[in-house]
Amino acid sequence: MRQQQVLAELSDRSLDVRRGAVRAGMDAAGERIDSDSGSDDHGSLTETLDELFRTAAERIRSTLGTDSCYVLEVDSAHEFFHVRAGARRTGDLNEMGPIPVDPDTQLGVTLVSPEPILVDEFTTDDRFVRAGPPVEDEAASGLGVRIDTGRRDREADGRGVSASGAAPGTDESSRDTAGGRGTWGVLGTYSTTPREFSEGEIAFVEAVANLLALTVERTRAERRRKEEQTRRNNVLETSPIGITLINAEGRHVFSNDRAEEILGRSIEELETYTHNDERWDLVDENGEQMSFDELPFSRVKETKEPVYDEIVGIRRSSDERVWLLIHCSPLFDVDGEFDGVIYAFRDITERRELESRLEEILGRVDEAVCAFDEDLQYTHVNERAEELLQRPADELLGEKLWEQFPESASENVVRESFERAMESQEQTSYEHYYEPADLWLEVTIYPSETGASVYFRDITDRKKYQRRLEESNERLEQFAYAASHDLQEPLRMITSYLRLIENRYADELDQDGREFIEYAVDGAERMQGMIDGLLQFSRVETQGEPFEPVDLEDVLADVRRDLRMQIEESEAEIAAGELPRVEGDGNQLRQVFQNLLSNAIEYADDEPPQVHISAHDTGKEWVISVRDNGSGIEPADQERIFGLFQRRHDSDEQTGSGLGLALCKRIIERHGGEIWVESEPGEGATFSFTLPTRLGPKQESASGSESASKSVN
């Protein structure tokens, strides 16, 4: 009778613990907890799990008349016991740290045994050396029972009788915990004098162990349920998508924060709304008022099927129109009856406004515009595009680009431009001769994650002008070459006769006469230099070498050898970083480096020249820079100096033709790059130029320009 009363008492306490876990969300699921750490909300309202353990240990000890009883929890690795509760006949239980699991002790064997481990007398039992800590070494007899949280054979009252009638510890009742799976710990009671435990006493201890396991299991499950609920609530509340629940009567019962923000109403206000409330002012994507039967809730309730990607407009309390993209799914109760719906929606107001503006803009633009989806199917063709392509929009919409224009698919520049734009998601442009309309088109592709917008315009007139300009430039170059070539002979004659006069009549000339002769000779030599420079300038395009790989470090080494005397006389310091290999004309690039390096030395201040050469790869081109410590250049002169017969300063006393930088510019432009200077007066100057990391169309295909010329003549 005493044992039944104890089991009834412990069952009530277990129920209180489980109820408390449900109400307060206590973390009492078998993890080690401090019985004194519970908050007032937890501990003051209900029994804690540790209090149940202490009560159980004390009731077993007093009921069976043993000297001690312990509740031990094992860690997940089954390496250490932790004392959760204990009761002794005499003396208090001292606080103990982790206790190693010893398989040679009675407690260690109990941990892996589905059957109770009974020891009538430790001194005569060959199975164990001793009981094992925390049991005192003077313990003579003991009973150990494993606490299994994985068993499914316990009655709700925890009294240890299975629903099938099987006794605890049988094969049927313990198969889920064989080998220790689901084992939480051990319940053991001990006596300091030898004694025997009756079957009723063994069953009593097993029943208490089952009750403790059931309590741990239920509180653990409740903890997991609450954690899962917390995670779900966090997901709902932090979701960037608005989520609302509408019950079967069409009333709001839940809205997350994002839904309140999108709908422009608090949850308290939303709870006063029905799904078809007139205050919503619901309209479809065309702006038409929606009837009751058209509403997503009504359709889902009628069909019991979800509605996806529905666009509706609602009215906020501020009278602002908001457009939503909605998913609406049905909810059902345990009997399968309709229980409401869950709405998930996004605010697409900004997208709708942008689409509307885009359509308006596309309708007004003068350029031809086509839009494509991610499969390059036409989704939009404006009137100008119809005109240039000579194809009506209704023939193209929904069709694939390469199927409609197979000839374009076979042209590398077209197909590669589209592929590069879509892969890199970067704007790409190219020029294309469209033979059906006898037009040159400039095409720009603007890719996006959902497709691409393509703008193109007729540049035939520009191409014709460019061709005429090229022909004019060719004629000018021919004239400049011829003129400079024809000027050389009379200039050489003038110089020769001046030298002859100087040599034969020097003794007969006074000081002024000799100076006049020197001025004339110097002027003739300067003119000779200008003519030579002009010849070089005119030959950049016509007599340049084919492009090939050029090592700029080798080019710089050659230039340094050529300028060795100038470098040594000026005591110049030349430093250079690592320079790349590029495609180009080695002789012309040597001229560029020589002109820039010579200028840097020539225009140095009183200090010895210091020149630094560096290279930087931007991913699309190389930027080569030559920095000096010279006198610098005024901002107003920084474009002028690249013109013909221009010098760094109008009042330059230095010699030179004024063609060096103009020649550099022309050479760099031939290589598809550009050149510029950055400087402040007195702070030196940095001349930089670019060279492509790969050849452009101009260098890759000279034949292409010939075929193009036929189309624009």
Q: Quick check: is 160 in a domain?
A: no
Peptide bond into 103 cis (omega under 30): no
Single out the residue in 508, 540, 572 at which a domain terminates.
Answer: 540
Q: Quick check: is 5 in a domain?
A: no
- Chain segment 694-704, per-residue pLDDT in tens: 544 334 333 33
Q: Quick check: is 382 in a domain?
A: yes
Cβ pair 168, 145 in contact under 8 A: no
73 with 101, same domain? yes
Q: Quick check: is 560 in a domain?
A: yes
441 with 490, same domain? no
Q: Quick check: is 697 in a domain?
A: no
User: Which candidate, 321, 252, 256, 312, places its Cα nearest to that of 283?
Assistant: 312
- Chain segment 641-669, per-residue pLDDT in tens: 887 666 655 544 445 566 788 888 989 98
Taking the C-alpha atoms of residue 687 and residue 625, their distance in angstroms, rounded to an integer, is: 6
Single out the residue in 407, 424, 457 at which a domain terminates.
Answer: 457
657 with 579, same domain? yes
Q: Quick check: is 13 in a domain?
A: no
Cβ pair 251, 279 in contact under 8 A: no
Residue 331: which CATH number? 3.30.450.20
- Chain segment 212-252, per-residue pLDDT in tens: 999 998 888 888 888 777 777 777 777 788 899 999 999 98
516 with 659, same domain? no
- Which has the higher per-residue pLDDT, 254 or 154? 254
Mean pLDDT, the chain, rounded, equals: 81
Segment of 258-272, 520-534, 653-667 carrying the highest mean pLDDT: 258-272
How confident is the model at residue 156, as a pLDDT? 38
Contacts of 568-574 with CB under 8 Å at 24 or more apart are 570/601, 570/604, 570/608, 570/609, 571/608, 571/609, 572/600, 572/601, 572/604, 572/608, 572/609, 572/610, 572/611, 573/608, 573/609, 573/610, 573/611, 574/611, 574/613
Residue 577: which CATH number? 3.30.565.10
345 with 425, same domain? no
How confident is the model at residue 41, as a pLDDT? 41
Residue 127: which CATH number? 3.30.450.40
Q: Quick check: is 32 in a domain?
A: no
Q: What is the DSSP letter of 582?
A: E
246 with 112, same domain? no
71 with 202, same domain? yes
208 with 132, same domain? yes
Total domains present in the chain = 5
270 with 330, same domain? yes
109 with 200, same domain? yes
437 with 517, same domain? no
386 with 342, same domain? no
- Chain segment 9-62, per-residue pLDDT in tens: 999 888 888 777 666 554 433 333 333 333 444 443 335 888 999 999 999 999
Confidence of residue 365 (pLDDT cuts 50, 70, 90): low
Single out the residue in 288, 320, 352 at which a domain terminates.
Answer: 352
Task: Identify the domain containing residue 446 by its residue range.
Answer: 366-457
How confident is the model at residue 23, as a pLDDT? 61
Strands 610-617 and 573-576: parallel
- Ramachandran category for residue 51: left, alpha or beta (phi over 0 → left; psi -120 to 50 → alpha): alpha
Strands 439-448 and 548-551: unpaired
pLDDT above 70 coverage of the chain, percent: 81
Segment of 92-101, 320-329, 528-537, 661-670 carrying the highest mean pLDDT: 320-329
Using CA atoms, how far residue 706 sits from 292, 548, 681, 701, in Å, is: 69, 21, 46, 9
Q: Quick check: is 706 in a domain?
A: no
